[in-house]
Structure 1
């Protein structure tokens, strides 16, 4: 079989032609890539169903914004209160499965075969992984969440150190500070990266080792066999498209709100929906240029620029803030996370339901909705790694970097609040009047060169915005083209454009609540898909050993 079947449009990854397990190739010709109207590579019915559904959703939200806003406002709390146990339980399974693979004999399996070599250096690999995986989220929640959990949400019953009159209660400070960091690290540590690792490993294994198309359905051949080339596979891929699109739209909405808040804070540009829509439009256009340049020419370059700017900002805040306290927070936060991860992960009998439903259930749905996008993106750049190396790097190392980020940005903000509550801008915007998109800029106000660092923060948010949009567009494009990694340009334009359109209509139709409602509703069915994917991956690894 040739490395590219030009008739069917089914790509076989470079270097995988001599590694194909023929048992996994039977029936693949049932996926057809047809060049349809406007130059689209139509992968029926995945492209048509997902594309038309997204177009219909955009027009519905624009035509009936009040009705749509009402639906979104009801949907999120109902989903999180009804299915919180399911999200928490599934995420726990993903972590345990990843840790098991690290120590199992299957950890020695190499993605791409025994002779495969990595396509990217560690630095290039990590840069793309972080920029696509959590960029906007770290900027938006890095200050907000540690302070909020320390002072307001009281996870696991840890009392706030701030009294109703604004004074500090000394005996509550240490426990609340540690729990604020631990409760945040829980949302940005092992669990989300395990979700990403599950999808990325499955796609890399079945693409590079089994020779199947780079699309979500391929991971389910050990369970459904030939049925993945029919409606079973179509439904799986369509769910992946919906989850990815709404997950990205949520992140783009967060990014637009934060960038607009920063522009108002520094330059006086009004913080309005109109400005946010304009921001999404302009940045989507920039992302489109990156998409047209492809993975190496666009996404990789922007990701490396992003990482450099983020590293500079991190080092500045570390040195300008209370450095010794930050390092102490890093150690104590890790310790509190280690001792609290089991009770925080418990989905039953919890008293802190506002934390579990309002934060954790939403987060797990968000990460799960991002998993087709981030997982496929990581899979594409991870050929040549062993399973053990892959999971350690994707699961453990990024978690530690996220802990460091939260300890630096969140630790500085907590120190500002506790040192002088009356003068703290962070307290004013997070605790007194909840304006989450200003939390980062409020923290930077308390450090030297606040205007310069705030501008850098805005640039960083925008570039993260672009890298999320362009890499997400490439992934959705691949899924809807039946696994092609180089689908026609008009198709890339379509998906990149409608990512921005979905973010706009959700912001107009209900703001952050609408964004969160849709990401939870699409993440729910895809959670079941990921649970099945664990079993399919294990069976695939077992066949590699044989």
Structure 2
């Protein structure tokens, strides 16, 4: 992952009416130089502390509340999540063809900070994470199994694929459906969500000279009120969404790492083991925070990207290369073919898929969007809007498709060859079961555990930076103790959710915080349109 700790390189000559009133949104306190955006930091910080305390104190009641909340939101508002995600894709495609696409992030004379290979590599880094490790095998197998008329072990109860014209028991169709449904969740829609947030942050920071925080994008709509309580609410929602979205990923990582340690070394897979694992990894992430971006997360990210690439190549070569190449091409065709039915928000019969999978995914991506969006914005100065949108949508999407095809396709080939263990295993265990059928299983499984743990560390480190940037009013050089605070509480929130209901609770909080932030993203599209219109007109 690239270094995103430096201040945005905004030209000094950019002075606009957008900057009026922004000087009063941070507060410096005490000799330690605590530099906080007072209402946002205090409200979000105290709320998170209270959440952790109450969830750990009333675990059984919390689990019941979380499960009920998730089921109600996904059942009631699945159409809302699907419709919003469709709008994000259409908005991004419109920017590609409209004259607004000629606007350059940073101004007409701005030049890209990174070459194409370097920029693509960083977009690739943004697309990799705990989610790909957790779902790379488990999701394609879940959809394949349900399309075959069977039942997947965890979270993949039989899905009614009739709206997509599936014939139960047809392995070829089931493979196409399984991969198309997986690509749907990891392709254009999530990256359009990230692109909207990233574009808003980049446009209003680089072109308008505003702080690098979500509230800045709403200046065209709210005016100076963004520096008041309207802005406080927007940034607080961004903090909650980012923190719980990150905690969801950290919880998934803990589940999978613990499952892998049990599978490989016989270490018990229980709540105590998961808590100790999260505490240990959070401690490492805290050390990484103290070491700084260059000494900590940057080196860990480079290590992880190298290991991930080696594991990808290894699975491709020793698996079924011809089958995987064919599956990759067929999956893209199937994705395009099934996309209208998969993205249809109304009249769905496949409620397990639309509510249990898609609605959760879109809420999860939306809750992650401030985190990933800020990263993408920091590395994209100097690109035109058209260039930005095309690359942000296509480059990471293709990486995700490649990863899912190699890992998920290999698992599907194993099932078709009669190796049914991977389909019967729990979601968090499927990666290791798939690897156990390949050569050097002990080594590759250990590498898989290392990847999950290091993704855990880098996500926690980078996530604490993003949250601290928001709570410091857009500053990215806030004092170290604040980042340490958020790093520690990210781990504590993940522990609280795991003990308060496990994976269902993790998903519940991602959906619950993603729902209100979806409204924020819908309004962001309006703000971006106004900002781009003003840029084209030369209006400050």
Q: TM (normalized to structure 2)?
A: 0.93
Alpha-carbon separation, structure 2, partners of 1:15 and 1:42: 22
Deviation string for 1:485-543 (max 9, x for gaps)? 11011101100000000000100111001101111000000000000000101111111
Alpha-carbon separation, structure 2, partners of 1:114 and 1:484: 25
Alpha-carbon separation, structure 2, partners of 1:92 and 1:296: 38
> 1:132 touches 1:467 (CA, 8 Å); kept in 2?
no
Aligned match of 1:425 in 410, 415, 421? 421
Which residue of the partner structure matches residue 120 of structure 1? 114
SS of alignment partner, residue 34 of structure 1: strand
Q: CA deviation at 1:114?
A: 2.5
The answer as to 2:50 corresponding to 1:56 is: yes
Which residue of the partner structure matches residue 224 of structure 2? 226
Alpha-carbon separation, structure 1, partners of 2:239 and 2:347: 35
Aligned match of 2:518 in 508, 512, 527? 527
Which residue of the partner structure matches residue 236 of structure 1? 234
The answer as to 2:12 corresponding to 1:17 is: yes
Q: CA deviation at 1:36?
A: 4.9
Aligned match of 1:75 in 63, 69, 74? 69
Structure 1 residues 288 and 406, CA gap change in structure 2 (3 angstroms) = same
Deviation string for 1:98-141 (max 9, x for gaps)? 11111221222221122323333444444444444441000000
Q: CA deviation at 1:247?
A: 0.1
CA RMSD of aligned residues (A): 1.7
Which residue of the partner structure matches residue 539 of structure 1? 530
Structure 1 residues 289 and 113, CA gap change in structure 2 (3 angstroms) = farther
1:346-425 residue pairs with structure 2 within 5 A? Answer: 346-420=344-418, 423-425=419-421
Aligned match of 1:146 in 140, 149, 152? 140
Structure 1 residues 199 and 36, CA gap change in structure 2 (3 angstroms) = farther
Alpha-carbon separation, structure 2, partners of 1:201 and 1:186: 22
> 1:111 touches 1:385 (CA, 8 Å); kept in 2?
yes
The answer as to 2:90 corresponding to 1:85 is: no
Alpha-carbon separation, structure 2, partners of 1:363 and 1:155: 19
SS of alignment partner, residue 18 of structure 1: coil
Which residue of the partner structure matches residue 152 of structure 2? none
Q: CA deviation at 1:278?
A: 1.2
Structure 1 residues 252 and 473, CA gap change in structure 2 (3 angstroms) = same
Q: CA deviation at 1:475?
A: 0.3
1:455-474 residue pairs with structure 2 within 5 A? Answer: 455-474=446-465
Deviation string for 1:383-422 (max 9, x for gaps)? 22221221122111111111111111111101110111xx
Q: CA deviation at 1:363?
A: 0.2
Aligned match of 2:290 in 292, 304, 308? 292
Alpha-carbon separation, structure 1, partners of 2:205 and 2:71: 38
Alpha-carbon separation, structure 2, partners of 1:453 and 1:146: 20
Q: CA deviation at 1:29?
A: 2.2
Alpha-carbon separation, structure 2, partners of 1:480 and 1:77: 31
Which residue of the partner structure matches residue 194 of structure 2? 196
Q: CA deviation at 1:159?
A: 8.4
> 1:39 touches 1:490 (CA, 8 Å); kept in 2?
no
Which residue of the partner structure matches residue 45 of structure 1? 39
Alpha-carbon separation, structure 2, partners of 1:485 and 1:127: 23
> 1:329 touches 1:411 (CA, 8 Å); kept in 2?
yes
> 2:179 touches 2:331 (CA, 8 Å); kept in 1?
yes
Which residue of the partner structure matches residue 103 of structure 1? 97
SS of alignment partner, residue 502 of structure 2: helix
Q: CA deviation at 1:466?
A: 1.2
Alpha-carbon separation, structure 2, partners of 1:532 and 1:31: 22
Q: CA deviation at 1:160?
A: 8.1
Aligned match of 2:161 in 152, 156, 159? 156
Which residue of the partner structure matches residue 432 of structure 1? none
Structure 1 residues 124 and 499, CA gap change in structure 2 (3 angstroms) = farther
Alpha-carbon separation, structure 2, partners of 1:478 and 1:155: 44
Alpha-carbon separation, structure 2, partners of 1:188 and 1:371: 14
Which residue of the partner structure matches residue 214 of structure 1? 212
Structure 1 residues 134 and 85, CA gap change in structure 2 (3 angstroms) = farther
Structure 2 unaligned segments of length 5 or more: list them: 1-5, 147-157
> 2:120 touches 2:395 (CA, 8 Å); kept in 1?
no
SS of alignment partner, residue 45 of structure 1: helix
Q: CA deviation at 1:177?
A: 0.8
> 2:8 touches 2:378 (CA, 8 Å); kept in 1?
no
Deviation string for 1:454-497 (max 9, x for gaps)? 01111111111111111110000000000111101110110000
